[in-house]
Chains A and B, each alone.
Chain A
Amino acid sequence: MLPLVALVVRAPWGSLLELLSRDEVAQALGLSLGSAALATAICLVLGVPLAVILARSTNWPSPVRRLVRALVTVPLVLPPVVGGVALLLLLGRRGLIGQWLDEWFGFTIPFTTVAVVIAQVFVAMPFLVLAVEGAIRGVDSRLETAAATLGASRFTVFRRITLPLVAPGVSAGALLCFTRALGEFGATITFAGSFPGVTQTLPITTYLELQRDPDAAIALSLVLMVVSVAVLVSLRDRWVPGLSA
């Protein structure tokens, strides 16, 4: 808590509005919110099916299950810089896949806004997958059996029983994922660089401003902190599903 107190105490309250209304700040804020929202949407599309597969994998051989789970969790424990380097080696101009993208389509990913989103998806995906998987495992399988006795096919059971019951878990996972994407720094600066308006997200701007104009950096930190706390508060409400009979 103490560092956060320091941040609030030392914040340049008088010039806050002026600092936050600068063009480069508005630009970074827009880029951050947009890319984090897009990254969250991509994580939802890819992560929910992955979570379903993981949650329903109890009859797989356990080495396979552990391997898949480890692969999903790796970005959680990996230093973000290493993630950035790995993404460069995969998607960079000379990367495993990147060289073909460049050769065939003349399309390079690094140091573009696309790279920002990819870096965010990479680091934030596990938060969503683990939250959704936990929620699916928590669904009372007796309700699913009851639905089957009423004539519901497996797909109908999933759509009308399982999915609505995990909805709070999905939204909690999406919020965590969004916050992680919004705060992403290491993988982004490594893989996407810091071009103002293109790849310079809010955390990167904050870091750069700290050397140029500390007051602006504090103001930006305050914005990021407020977003994080807001997410935390909304999760406290959502995490209690209020669905138990």
Chain B
Amino acid sequence: MSGTLVADIRAERGVFSLDVSLRVEPGEVLALLGPNGAGKSTTIGCISGIVPLDSGRISVGDSVLDDTETDVVVPIEARRVGLVFQDYRLFPHLSVLENVAFGQRSRGVARSEARAAAAAWLDRLGLAAFGAVRPGSLSGGQSQRVALARALAMEPDVLLLDEPLAALDVEVRADVRAELADHLSLFAGATIVVTHNLADAEALAGQVAVIEGGRVSQLATVGELRRAPATPWVASLVAR
């Protein structure tokens, strides 16, 4: 079941305060674009349940993940939020297939069924040949695809990607970016991609929410950002 992601997030971390409101429709990809330390990763940390909210509400369709007014806090493992980490975080002691099957296995799906589903995802993402290998022997681009397959195989309601291309070498980055854009279209739910790179945002997302200093400073398409940058940071980014 996928629905519209609606997030009103307020979180204090020492002197830094985050206050953002986002709305992402099913099938839509929103890019969170901003400088380092602007609160992009904290935002998706809140949606995935890793970072607690100080106040606010997060919901996907009819299901509420967080609501500080009614004291609803769904634990991390009970949210159906797929998260692709910047550093991938593949389990080194499990095969690629077992990594991808991990989500369904954790939710009590039988081993053979979870493996079959995982194999289908590997196939879809062009990883069919790598099922039996350990993640340690994969390239950066392959690891990223496995991390994506692992998140998609848990059949999430929402998909979050934290700087999915940042750990890749420059030579492969453009190829992986194009592949990733294709693969994101396989997912029917709301998707958020965190990036600090305009080209990544343009290739992967329709809308862009620019986050600076913990606030959304502009919500627009990349074309609109180019034509009418609302802040000096956006202006310098599009001028590059």
Residue A20, interface by CB 8 Å: no
**With the chains together, A161 CA to B77 CA distance in Å?**
14
Contact (Cβ within 8 A) B93 A165? yes
> For chain B, which range describes its interface: under 10, 10 to 19, 20 to 34, or 35 or more residues?
20 to 34
> Which residue of A has the minimal Cβ distance to B136?
A245
Residue A150, interface by CB 8 Å: yes
Instruction: Kindly list chain A residues whose C-beta atoms are within 8 Å of the C-beta of B94.
Output: 160
> Which residue of A has the minimal Cβ distance to B48?
A149
Residue A89, interface by CB 8 Å: no
CB distance from A176 to the nearest CB of B (A): 22
Contact (Cβ within 8 A) B93 A243? yes
Instruction: Kindly list chain A residues whose C-beta atoms are within 8 Å of the C-beta of B136.
Output: 244-245
Residue A147, interface by CB 8 Å: yes
* With A148-B76, A244-B136, A245-B136: A153-B106 Cβ-Cβ less than 8 Å: yes
* With A142-B87, A243-B92: A150-B50 Cβ-Cβ less than 8 Å: no
Residue B23, interface by CB 8 Å: no
Per-residue contact bits, chain B 141-171, to A (CB 8 Å; 1 contact, 0 not): 0000000001100100000000000000000
Residue A138, interface by CB 8 Å: no
Residue A81, interface by CB 8 Å: no
> For chain A, which range describes its interface: under 10, 10 to 19, 20 to 34, or 35 or more residues?
20 to 34
**With the chains together, A245 CA to B85 CA distance in Å?**
15
Residue B91, interface by CB 8 Å: yes
Per-residue contact bits, chain B 83-99, to A (CB 8 Å; 1 contact, 0 not): 10101011111100000
Residue A156, interface by CB 8 Å: yes
Max chain A C-beta neighbours (<10 A), residue from B49, B103, B105, B106: B106
How many A-B residue pairs lie within 8 Å, measured between CB atoms?
Answer: 65
Contact (Cβ within 8 A) A152 B77? yes
Residue B102, interface by CB 8 Å: yes
Residue A234, interface by CB 8 Å: no
Determine which of B76, B87, B134 lies in contact with A149 in the assembled complex, contact meaning CB atoms within 8 Å.
Answer: B76
Instruction: Kindly list chain B residues whose C-beta atoms are within 8 Å of the C-beta of A148.
Output: 76-77
Contact (Cβ within 8 A) A151 B107? yes
Instruction: Kindly list chain B residues whose C-beta atoms are within 8 Å of the C-beta of A145.
Output: 50, 76, 89
Instruction: Kindly list chain B residues whose C-beta atoms are within 8 Å of the C-beta of A151.
Output: 77-78, 80, 103, 106-107, 154
Contact (Cβ within 8 A) A147 B91? yes
Instruction: Kindly list chain A residues whose C-beta atoms are within 8 Å of the C-beta of B77.
Output: 148-154
Contact (Cβ within 8 A) A156 B76? no
Residue A143, interface by CB 8 Å: yes
Contact (Cβ within 8 A) B106 A147? yes
Instruction: Kindly list chain B residues whose C-beta atoms are within 8 Å of the C-beta of A149.
Output: 48-50, 76-77, 79, 81-83
> Which residue of A has the minimal Cβ distance to B98?
A160
> Which residue of B has the minimal Cβ distance to A243?
B92
Determine which of A150, A152, A160, A244 lies in contact with B92 in the assembled complex, contact meaning CB atoms within 8 Å.
Answer: A244
Per-residue contact bits, chain B 12-48, to A (CB 8 Å; 1 contact, 0 not): 0000000000000000000000000000000000001
> Which residue of A has the minimal Cβ distance to B80?
A151
Q: Which of A146-190 contact B (CB under 8 A)?
A: 146-154, 156, 160-161, 164-165
**With the chains together, A147 CA to B83 CA distance in Å?**
10
> Which residue of A has the minimal Cβ distance to B93?
A164
**With the chains together, A197 CA to B35 CA distance in Å?**
74
> Which residue of B has the minimal Cβ distance to A153?
B77
* With A142-B85, A148-B77, A150-B154: A245-B90 Cβ-Cβ less than 8 Å: yes
Contact (Cβ within 8 A) A147 B93? no
**With the chains together, A60 CA to B93 CA distance in Å?**
31
Contact (Cβ within 8 A) B106 A146? no
Contact (Cβ within 8 A) A143 B89? yes
Q: Which of A206-245 contact B (CB under 8 A)?
A: 243-245
* With A164-B93, A243-B93, A245-B136: A146-B107 Cβ-Cβ less than 8 Å: no
Instruction: Kindly list chain A residues whose C-beta atoms are within 8 Å of the C-beta of B83.
Output: 146, 149
**With the chains together, A153 CA to B105 CA distance in Å?**
11
**With the chains together, A152 CA to B99 CA distance in Å?**
12
> Which residue of A has the minimal Cβ distance to B89?
A146
Nearest 6 pairs between A and B by C-beta?
A: A146-B89, A152-B106, A150-B103, A245-B92, A151-B106, A148-B76
5 pairs, A vs B, C-beta closer than 8 Å:
A142-B89, A149-B82, A160-B102, A165-B92, A165-B93
**15 other A-B residue contacts (CB within 8 Å) besides A151-B80, A151-B107:** A142-B85, A142-B87, A143-B91, A143-B92, A149-B48, A149-B79, A150-B154, A151-B77, A151-B106, A152-B102, A152-B106, A154-B77, A243-B92, A244-B92, A245-B135
